[in-house]
Chains A and B, each alone.
Chain A
């Protein structure tokens, strides 16, 4: 028979490790409806009939976070065939708190005591038989990291599912609470007439009754008005007998019951708090003086290993991330050349579609994959070893002011390299609110691809000023805007969500390679498939708009073009027409002309495209004569290096190479003076840079946003906020700039 077995447990209890161990790499990561929480499913390696579902890690089944609501809704409403409750054996007291709550739902369950290797190393002794007698369900010792005890665990879980073995009635509450629960149960039963008093129904009502005693607002919301007053009367009476605080009494009694079980079934080697290896390490890593320098070094390494072109300060040494990205791009370019060779004789339109549309579009994804992979391996390492919680601990003070948690630091820092892995790193944040806000403001960060825009505009318009300072001011601006937008979102959009920082600082542990490997692979796969689709489609769309116009379809282009192609030049394309129509919108920002407008749009393919497009559209002074003159400074060998075939100057190739050259050339070579026809003042130029810095990021980043925020409406909302911010800030910059000059 096919069973669905759900894994439940505290965060850091080894749940993910167990899940990976049970399912191997064959996992399916989806999302729970309506929230940005992962829904992981897989098939048990050793029995393809058995489904494994990984519930979000929670400390309790209270309805105060998205994760808790998901876990309990699934257990109570969807009713898996059995639940495996994973308990961290080194921290058994707090872990059993969730166990008791799952037991109350009367779902068939087994308890897995994990980290038995550490328990034994500590010299502690757990009496599983006794524990099992207390709870009425199987209790199995396991070591998830090396798979020890897992077969026995799965046998027990399947047995529990078959026999419907749920926990026995636990004798933990006092008279007062028991009678209140019973009275509420009776009220609830009265309304359930006709649903046939099955075992499942009465178990659910009993669970509801307990939750009502605990003052659970969600359950209270499901009760009819008539019953509500009856129940409230019962609760009021019971409160009197519990020093006016029924909720605290319930939690207290649960923990007292746990203490009783633990005192009889667990023999601890040391009863007082003693310093472990982990404590000693923590003394250094979160030391008053050393913590911030160590943090800075670790963050630098994280950034450098992923994005650095001068790794470890060695000139020209690529970091593993950049090296792999370059390798992937080279391979893709070679593949592109191969395809280009195959369709050499096809029509120019097909060539352009395949080469400029498809190959280029997919190429945009390929380059990101190694970055996502490397960054994710590093982040998983920080997460699994326990340092991530310390980052939050160290940085909380600063980020709290902006309404975020210290963990938001990592995505924001990564945003300076590339928004795509940065946005995907928001997954490690604790609350849904943090995830959403951080995803939005990560788009404001000046990623590597935005740098060429700054280089080009600063060279053209700010030649006489301190160029470094102008660029630096844009960096600062992005940070200020991120903070202000975060504060505004906190104030207006997510104001109801109270933030708290009651967080476990887990022990430091050496992560398993397998767990990290699967994690990284999941990320890459998710990005390539889900974000890839968006990038691909958007790129083709922009390609179509920038290469065709009405005359493409009435034969005029075909007649005029020497090669008979129906395509048009970019300055004559649909995109140019749309740009002209939209341009007036940007008038208040100082660049209400069609060419800058089109530049913004092509920037969504990849931000450096702004530069390429501008170079193409403002090619007036880049005449063939100018180019010939320009490239005369290079000899044949250098020309070949620049991309001219066989080192021979070629007029057609010259333009592309020159346009791309703006990306790699230094200093004033970047200037494109003819832009001044449209963008007339420094204020307008600065405003244009600001708009490109803050507006919708590239399609790849939007794809990553969609993957994290899950729904189109939320993704659209995020992009809307980014567009609005860009517009407002650019407007302020332009207006103030005009006043000053």
Chain B
């Protein structure tokens, strides 16, 4: 299964599920990361982490450890 962490800049995919219950997942969902939504990876930060994605028309940044929990379908 692919996660958001595995995606390369420019790639686009659809969210399947978002990891374990808890504050972090809640935060992701509040920011609009919900199952079925399309996410496009924009870039990786110069030091290799975090990543920047485009979701629901705005730019969101998150760490790779957080992106790892988001299951994607490309």
Contacts and interface: CB of A to CB of B under 8 A. Distances in A.
A432 interface: no
Interface in B32-71: 32, 34-37, 40, 43-50, 52, 54, 56-63, 66
Interface residues of B, number: 37
Contacts of A60: 30
A104 to B, nearest CB: 14
Given A94-B32, A502-B60, A247 B47 contact: no
Q: Which 6 A-B pairs have the closest CB atoms?
A: A60-B30, A397-B47, A251-B29, A505-B59, A291-B46, A93-B56
B36 A396 contact: no
Given A292-B46, A505-B61, A500 B23 contact: yes
Contacts of B2: none
B60 A64 contact: no
A90 to B, nearest CB: 8
A599 B6 CA distance: 58
A504 B57 contact: no
Does more than half of chain B's interface fall in helix, strand or loop, or is it mixed?
A: mixed
Given A251-B29, A252-B34, A287-B46, A498 B23 contact: yes
Given A288-B46, A498-B24, A500-B66, A91 B58 contact: yes
Given A59-B31, A273-B54, A288-B46, A505 B24 contact: no
B34 A255 contact: yes
A504 B54 CA distance: 10
Contacts of B26: 62, 64, 247, 251
B14 interface: no
B18 interface: yes
A512 to B, nearest CB: 21
A398 B47 contact: yes
Given A62-B26, A247-B26, A286 B31 contact: no
B45 A93 contact: no
A128 interface: no
B7 interface: no
B29 A248 contact: yes
Contacts of B37: 255
Contacts of B48: 397
Contacts of B58: 91, 94, 504
A400 interface: yes
A286 B46 contact: yes
A248 B66 contact: no
A393 B49 CA distance: 8
A393 B52 contact: yes
15 contacts: A90-B57, A215-B21, A245-B21, A247-B26, A251-B34, A252-B34, A273-B54, A288-B46, A289-B46, A394-B45, A394-B46, A498-B22, A502-B31, A503-B61, A505-B52
A143 to B, nearest CB: 19
A31 B13 CA distance: 43
Contact of A500 (B18, B24, B34, B59): B24
Contacts of A62: 26-27, 30
Contacts of A498: 22-24
Interface in A282-297: 282, 286-289, 291-292
A93 B57 contact: yes
B45 A94 contact: no
A86 to B, nearest CB: 15
Given A62-B27, A503-B62, 12 more contacts: A64-B27, A91-B57, A94-B57, A245-B21, A248-B18, A286-B46, A291-B46, A396-B45, A396-B49, A500-B66, A502-B31, A502-B60
Contacts of A215: 21
Instruction: Identify which of B21, B36, B47, B48 gathers the most chain A CB atoms within 10 Å of its CB.
Output: B47
A291 B21 CA distance: 35
Contact of A502 (B34, B40, B59, B66): B66
Interface of B: 18, 21-32, 34-37, 40, 43-50, 52, 54, 56-63, 66
Contact of A501 (B21, B57, B59, B63): B63
Interface of A: 59-60, 62, 64, 90-94, 97, 215, 245, 247-248, 251-252, 255, 273, 282, 286-289, 291-292, 389, 393-398, 400, 498, 500-507
B39 to A, nearest CB: 10
A393 B42 CA distance: 13
Nearest to B33: A502
Nearest to B58: A91
B57 A248 contact: no
B49 A504 contact: no
Nearest to A251: B29
Given A393-B61, A502-B62, A59 B30 contact: yes
A265 to B, nearest CB: 15
Contacts of A400: 63
A594 B45 CA distance: 53
Given A286-B43, A288-B46, A397-B47, A503 B23 contact: no
B51 to A, nearest CB: 9
Contacts of B45: 286, 291, 393-394, 396-397
Contacts of A292: 46
A505 B29 CA distance: 17
A503 B48 CA distance: 17
B35 A252 contact: yes
Nearest to B62: A502
Contacts of A251: 26, 29-30, 34
Contacts of A64: 23, 26-27
A116 B63 CA distance: 32
Nearest to B59: A505
A94 B63 contact: no
A247 B32 contact: no
A397 B59 CA distance: 19
B71 to A, nearest CB: 12
Contacts of A500: 23-24, 27, 62-63, 66
B54 to A, nearest CB: 5
Contacts of B44: 288
Nearest to A268: B57
B60 to A, nearest CB: 6
B63 A504 contact: no
A501 B68 CA distance: 13
Contacts of A286: 43, 45-46, 52
